[in-house]
Amino acid sequence: MRLAAKSLSLVVLTACSATAAERADHPPAARLKHQCLVASAPEKGDAEGKPFSRLIQRGYEAIWFTVVSANGVRWVVYDTAQQKIVPVGSEPEKPKARAPKEEPPLPPGVKPSHFDRWASGDRWRSAFKQAKLEDVLAGANLQEGFGCSARDGASANDPAQILLHRPPSAEGVKLCSLEPFEGQTLHAVYWLRLMPSGDIAVLAGNAKVTVLQVYENPLLDTICAQWNALLNEAFKGEPVVKARCVGSLYALSPYADRAFDAIPVASDGRAYFGTMPHHASESGPVFAFDPKQDKLILLGDIGRLGGVHRPDAVPQMMHGNAFEMNGKVYFTGQDPHYGGWDFPVAKREDKPRYPGSPIVEYDLKTQKARALGVPFAGNPGIFRISGDPKRSVLYLRRGYHRGHEWPLAWFAIQLDANPHFSPAGPAPQER
């Protein structure tokens, strides 16, 4: 769920309290995030199909739906990372049906296919175990989520609209008109669905094209602000540690999910860390935090720094520690999908391959990075790095953890005077 996208930041400990700005009810926004051509005439969208969505990786979602052609109905899937339509050979396995529950009536005049609710109660309750926090959330109506509907245009030149329905009112507030696609007005809506993140997916079109559009969660700013204010209120008077935001990782890269491992402080006083992208083709960014400047610095992404980035290859994450030795900081990448692949592909053989974990050396004096090679080509990952500065030896732990399907083993790699090791040279020695 990408609620955290607005607040994923590097923080330092400090004292703070809720402010009036945190309590503000931000006006709804409906920014078009991306759109994709689904079909051209004579094919068209399917108003009778029942689309369904899933979270496929942290922050990325996919939605399965049907398209009507002269040969019948076919299934396709769109995911928000690859941002493309992938055909599905047969009807996909749908999520298990939940026990039916009583739903509020639809807004007057709205078709079932044109309306969806984002019921977030389960998410809030699973995040907070203390009863008093549930009471606070209920008092602010956050447990009810919100709804969105679509309204067809009055004519072929009148774009369809998206409306917001927020409890307790059932009245819809106009968020936006659908953006045109390559200059063409989209006046007819086939269906509207709210993704797990709260983003709005709309399948719409005209006599010539069918287009899928994804709009940003219209209440993201509001929900995040109220979440923070409610937490501050709930913990008022209790001894808690608060944090001060010194910069957003997403302001520097859209692929920075989070820093998973420890964040070491090098001899230059900066903290170095990498992130996990959970993306289909983009690798995790590597950052430094300079406390003297109170500034985040983007060094690059681990795939490109390691010289292994290819659009058709599995990308890299940093799920291991950074390590300093002899004035250099060493990083290594890993397979963010652990040998699997969650993103939609038309055929199993279309799954991309992982090139192996690269070793990157960052010189603290010159502030330059260079790739040292891939010691274990095709292996899913080096998850720990250490070394002996006197002997210029790097110690690499290949494998995730004991009991995992990948064997866990330590290796020693001798760096030469440059220093450098060649992937084509002698195999690393197991220790």
**Per-position DSSP letters for 387-418, written without gaps between them:** EETTTTEEEEEESSSTTSSSPPEEEEEE--SS
Q: Which residues contact 255 (CB under 8 A, 6 or more apart)?
A: 275, 277, 279, 282, 283, 284, 285, 301
Instruction: Evaluate whether 49 touches 92 at the Cβ level (below 8 Å).
Output: no
What is the token pair recorded at 371?
Answer: 């790739």
Beta strands 393-398 and 173-177, pairing class: unpaired
As beta bridge partners, residue 425 has: none
pLDDT higher than 90, residue 99 = no
Coil, strand or helix: which one is 224?
Answer: helix
Instruction: Evaluate whether 90 touches 82 at the Cβ level (below 8 Å).
Output: no
Lowest mean pLDDT among 32-41, 156-165, 184-193, 422-431: 422-431
d(CA 174, CA 148): 10
Torsion of CA 9, 12, 18, 23, to 10 degrees: -10
What's the chain's length in residues? Answer: 431
Confidence of residue 22 (pLDDT cuts 50, 70, 90): very low
What is the token pair recorded at 151?
Answer: 């309204």
Cis preceding-peptide flag for 375 (omega within 30 of 0): no
Instruction: Evaluate whether 198 touches 217 at the Cβ level (below 8 Å).
Output: yes
d(CA 290, CA 238): 32
Among 357, 345, 100, 139, CA closest to 230? 139
pLDDT higher than 90, residue 223 = no
What is the token pair recorded at 56?
Answer: 């496929």
Percent of the chain with pLDDT over 70: 76
CATH 2.40.128 in the chain is located at 253-430
Architecture field, domain 253-430? Beta Barrel (2.40)
Average pLDDT, stretch 72-101? Answer: 79
pLDDT number for residue 38: 95
Model pTM score: 0.73
d(CA 3, CA 220): 7
d(CA 179, CA 202): 11
Rounded to 5°, angle at Cα 223 from 284 and 216: 55
Phi and psi torsions of 226, nearest 5°: -70, -35
Lowest mean pLDDT among 11-20, 58-67, 153-162: 11-20
d(CA 124, CA 143): 7
pLDDT number for residue 3: 37
d(CA 22, CA 273): 29
pLDDT higher than 80, residue 57 = no
What is the token pair recorded at 102?
Answer: 């009583």
